[in-house]
Structures are given as structure tokens and as C-alpha cells.
Chain A
């Protein structure tokens, strides 16, 4: 049976890395692609997660995720040896990798995970690679060592200055754009507001900026259209047209609103989880 978890690591209170046995996905996947997983046959929801890395020989893929809703919390509760009920992929178009000159990879928070394979492929294609890695605080920074090993230049920054520079990623990004030899391509991945800010930062310099969108999805194959975004005034589906788009053309405000469509229900479900956990805790105590 596929989808067995063979490795687990906790990066921060709400950031986890797992390696999952999925030989077919490991073989076919390329940088920029994602999977959709589901933890329960009947009542589970389907959530998209970007593939952070893969090992073809071992037949495993790496997923790095932040616990935000019920399913990601439940995923974090699984241990090595447990199985993910359903996982499908690799989905989405792979990143277009080519030698363009200097590529700046910007990873914000958990966005460092999807950035990693793209940075790796861009480097392998012969590009000069600058990585700007940002997080709210030092404890939330991931993959710094791995990206340091890859990048020709690594700029680390945190919102509170607890690691690297005290800055938002847009600070160093602006500086890089102002260098005499401005970059040829920026790949910015992170929270929607960060990607929006990066696109606005590079726009005046005319530096092509790719963003990777992580919207609400059900099937991930084009069937539902729940993931649609407005790009250059056109409706596009993140699952089959993306997940990467020209950041200068994406209507981020619309996308951010659509991401919040179910916030009320999600919060309620999440609270219910905590409530149920508290009840179980009480019952355990009472039983003792």
C-alpha cells in the first residue's frame, strides 16, 4: 500500500516535514508540482500541498506543511508508519526551467518549501541563484541550510530581527532589483500578501516575477473550478493552468478574498477539534 509515512520532523510549533512513500509520484514529479491528499475515505477533505522534494530511488516525496486547518492538524498527528488514506499527483504544470541569467528565489515562511525544488532546478540549469529567505521569527525559518548550500547568495531576514536582517523580504528584493545588473527572473512563493508585495516591488523595475498560488481546490484536475483566479482580467484555474502565474498579472485581492470563503466554517471546525480534544482529555482524567 502506498502513502506510508517514513520520516517526520517538526520544524516549529506549527511546521512539519514528512516523507511519504509514493513511487509513481516521486518518479514523475518535477519542480513546482503539488499533490492533493485526504485523510479519511468518507468524510475527509482534499487539500493541496506542494511537493518540496522527492527521492526517485527511495520512491518517496517530501511534504512540508503548516498546520492551519483541521486536515493539516490531523496530518501533523500522524507518525512514521502511518498511512495517508489518499494522495494524488503530481498535479499542476511543472515550473518552466531555463537558463535566463540571474534568478532570485524569494521564500516567505512555509513558502521556502515549494521554493526549494524550483531553486534547485534553476541552479542546475546554470542560473546564478540569489535566495531571499524570510520568516516572522527565527523559529519559523525552514530549509535555511539546504538553500544556503544551493544559492550563490543567501539573504536571510525576519520580521523581528531574531535571525538575519530585521526586514520584510521586499526590502532586500528591492535592493537586488536596484543593483547594476538587475535580476532576470524572480520566483516569489509565500503567503498571498507577501507574493502581492513582491510583485509590487519588482513591477517598477520590469523584472519578470513568477508566483505560485495555493488556492482552495477540490479535485485538482480542472473539474471543479474552485481554484480559479483572475489573471490579466481572465479567469484561470490554478490546478490545470497553474499553479505558477505572472505575479504582475494576478488579481491578488480577489484571490485573498476567495481564500477566505470558508473561514467561518474552518474556524468552527477547528474550534470543535480543540473542544473535542479537551473533552477527551477530561474523560481520560475522569477515567483515571
Chain B
């Protein structure tokens, strides 16, 4: 497909809109409105810059896309949304051009629409059951709910209209929130709104969690995350960076010694998995976490100014098929690798990555190797990576996850030369809090056991996000944060302050 410029897309949208203005649309007419293409940076140009790829809808496009919504009574999209945003209502407002009303409706359920509009896997959530996509017999033609969400959230921020929520009178209670990612931010905002004093503890020097160290600038501009953090601070949430709960202070000491009445753990996944194959500790093998953190948080892409060094790669092999694998592969492209290969043991249909990220990666020249997997990593006499030995796979019977299990083809080994390997096969949960908090019950995978309110086995300690879910998404973390905040508030009002043992 030829790349369309933003101007071309806007001109087409303008024409389409002119024909519809002031007309009461039948469902058939709505279904006839062309799905709005997301304007994007030219694929050739963006291979050499870190700026955002998807440029966002124009106002006309946002209205047109919203007009495609059939306003179904049963609203299957709402069922598909982990935080149950009233999607038909916000799309109706957006279709009428009342973008402020639209974002206000979203914000009743979601704290971070500008982030979620960009990084949610809409095609497996709200857009999967969309009646429009079903009627057109193509899930890719469902209403682009996320793109409209992004538009209305960006517009509010860019026009400086975002208002801080009202803060209720001080309750005198203090809550510690561990981690400043999506779960922590949500808990902090919701509890602060109820009048509690909230401190967020962040291990890194900069708040934002996975949104700053993990997701690259070209997919989620850091200024958007910064705006959310500033809003929290303006609400009176205290943020303490360089603070590792479990090490700088034990979790229980926050209540026992430091006067907090409750704790929320949203410390994230944060312990990269490796494949356990030969050669994984050779020089030139990185976890995606390390690779992305060096680039995103430590700004190693800025060779001139950043002190954090970056391994100079020519031929990169990325192992994995999720969003993190796409992020790593596309980052490698931007940092000047001449070839970037992505190796995934299932097919594209099973890839957990967002459809848009897969498409973008291909446009940018990442070479996909499907139904293949690394068997071992080979090094030279200096201990530097020189190749990956791969195996070919075929799909067998479905496994527990319902996906067809990839089965290796015996004797199909082949060599893929490279100088860098990035392992992006997921995370285990970080052990620090588990190891240093007596009585905290965890699963065999190390995730914290929490009920649907986020309550853990330790009184007044709640948890949510990846530390409970394993590797999940921003929106699920946010949803858990919401429920935990409500439960913490209710607990505090019912049980009062923490009674110190000494």
C-alpha cells in the first residue's frame, strides 16, 4: 500500500464529511463511511528518527470515524473494555464535534486516555466485538475506538483544557504507593481525590514506570506521560524517586515506622525471562528490558549527549512476538542496524503484539521469521555473538491458551548470522518485595496473590498491575488500580488509622 500523507488523508476526509453534514444517517449509510486511515510518518523517514509514528486523526477524521458507530443498544464494545468506558456515548459526542464532552465521558472510567488510546490492544478488546466490524466481515474495519479516544485526549491536553479533579477535604490518612506505572498512577490519583495523603515510591530516577523505560518515544511520546505525572503532582501527590521499597525501606516499615496507613504495590513485572539456551550470556545478548531502558530512559540513542553506552549493532535478531519485541526491533532499526530480524515460533495470527505495531514494524523493514525459534546462540573466540542457530516449527494441536502449539521440525536447524540478540519473551515478577515482606503470599510464578479488590494476604497491603497479573497491559493495570483504590478508601474509612505495634 502506498503511503498517504496527512494532507491527502485530510482532503479525502473533508470530502467525505461534506457529503454527510447535516444528514440523519441510516445504519447502512454509517457502514458505508470509509474507515479512517491513521496518518503516519513516512516509513522511510521514520526509520531514522525517534518521533511518534502515528500522527493522530484530524478533527474531521475523528468525527467521521465516530459517525461509523451504530450506537448499538447492547454495546458489545463496552463489554470488551477492561474499564467499561461508555464507548457509544463518547463516540456520539465526538461525532457531533463535542470533543470535550467525549473526553469527559472517557475520564469517568479511565485516567489515562491519551496513553490508552495509543497502547491498548483495541483489536482484542473493545474493537473485537464491534458490530461495524462484524457487519463488514472484517475486524480491521471495526470503529477505531482507540484512535478517537487518542484524538479527544490529545486535543484536551494540547488546548490546555485538562482540569484537575476536585480534591475532597483531608482525611488525615496516608497511603504509600509502590511504583509509578499505570497501576500506581491510577491508585494515587483516585485516593488523592478522596482526600488522602499519597506518596508514590519509584525505584528509578524518573516516574512513569514502563511508560518511560519500556514503551519507546515513537509509540508513546514521553511528554504525554510527563503531563500525567505533573497532573498528579499538582493534585498534591508526593513522588519520591530513587526509592526501592524492599531495600531502601521494607514494605512493612512504611506502616510500622513511617506512618502510612495502607500500601499499594504496583511494582510491575520487572525480571526479564531468558530462554535458558546455550550462549545467552555472550556479549551482544540483551534482554529487551535492558535494550529499551538504555534507549528510552537513559537516552542512549542520543550518542552525542548520553553517557549510557549502547552496543553498536549491525545485524540484530529479536526473539519474541509481543509488543516489547516489536518495540525492540523497531528501536534497533532506528539506531542504525542494517538488518533487523524478528524470530517468533508461532504464526502472525498468534502474535500477542498489537496489529498496528506489527504493520509498522514490517513497513520499517523488520524481517519476520515465523514458525522458527532459537536453539542456541553461537559466539566467536572473543565471546561475542556471531549467529543464532534456529529450528523450524509447525503448528500442532491447541495448547492451554487455545493457541495451536508450535512443534519443532526435527533436523530443521539452520544458522542465522548476527552480532546482537535481543530476548523479548516476557518477564517474571520482581523478587524484591516478595523476599522482604514476611507473610506476603505469592504464586509459584512469584506474582502477588490478591483478591478482586487487590487485597493481599497482609492486612492493609493491596496490589495490582503486572506484579499480580504477570505481563499484561496498561489498561488492565489501570483497571486493577481503580478497584484497589476504591477498596483502600473503603477500608480506611471503616477501620481508621494503622495501629503501630510499638
Measuring CB to CB, which residues of chain A are less than 8 angstroms from any residue of chain B? 24-25, 28, 38, 40-46, 70-71, 85-91, 218-219, 221-226, 228-230, 235, 237, 240, 251, 253-254, 257-258, 260-262, 264-266, 269
Contact = CB atoms under 8 A, between A and B. Distances in A.
Contact of A43 (B249, B293, B299, B384): B299
Given A90-B248, A257-B382, A43 B307 contact: yes
Nearest to B294: A218
Contacts of B284: 261
Contact of A226 (B268, B270, B286, B383): B286
A85 B281 CA distance: 32
User: Which of A71, A218, A235 has most chain B Cβ within 10 Å?
Assistant: A218
Given A44-B307, A45-B308, A88 B243 contact: yes
B41 interface: no
A224 B312 contact: no
Contacts of A90: 247-248
B280 A88 contact: no
A265 B309 contact: yes
Nearest to B382: A257
Contacts of B247: 28, 89-91, 221
Given A43-B307, A218-B290, A226-B290, A24 B248 contact: yes
Contacts of B281: 228-230, 235, 251, 254, 258
Which secondary structure dominates chain A's binding surface? mixed
Interface string B420-433: 00000000001110
B138 to A, nearest CB: 39
Contacts of A45: 298, 306-309
A51 to B, nearest CB: 12
A224 B241 contact: no
Interface in B427-443: 430-432
A41 B294 contact: no
A49 B204 CA distance: 16
16 contacts: A24-B248, A42-B299, A44-B307, A45-B308, A46-B298, A90-B247, A90-B248, A218-B293, A218-B298, A221-B432, A225-B271, A225-B272, A226-B290, A228-B274, A230-B281, A262-B309
Nearest to A74: B307
A189 to B, nearest CB: 21
Interface residues of B, number: 46
Interface in B377-416: 382-384
Given A218-B294, A221-B432, A235 B307 contact: no
B243 A223 contact: no
Nearest to A268: B309
Interface string B328-354: 000000000000000000000000000
B274 A235 contact: yes
Given A88-B244, A219-B203, A258-B383, 6 more contacts: A89-B244, A89-B248, A90-B248, A222-B432, A235-B276, A253-B383
Contacts of A70: 307
A265 B310 contact: yes
Contacts of A228: 274, 281
A86 B202 CA distance: 12
A262 B311 contact: yes
B305 interface: yes
A221 B467 CA distance: 14
Which of B271, B280, B308 has the largest count of A CB atoms less than 10 A from its CB?
B308
B202 to A, nearest CB: 10
A192 B402 CA distance: 48
A89 B268 CA distance: 19
Contacts of A264: 312
A8 B299 CA distance: 31
Contact of B307 (A24, A25, A71, A253): A71
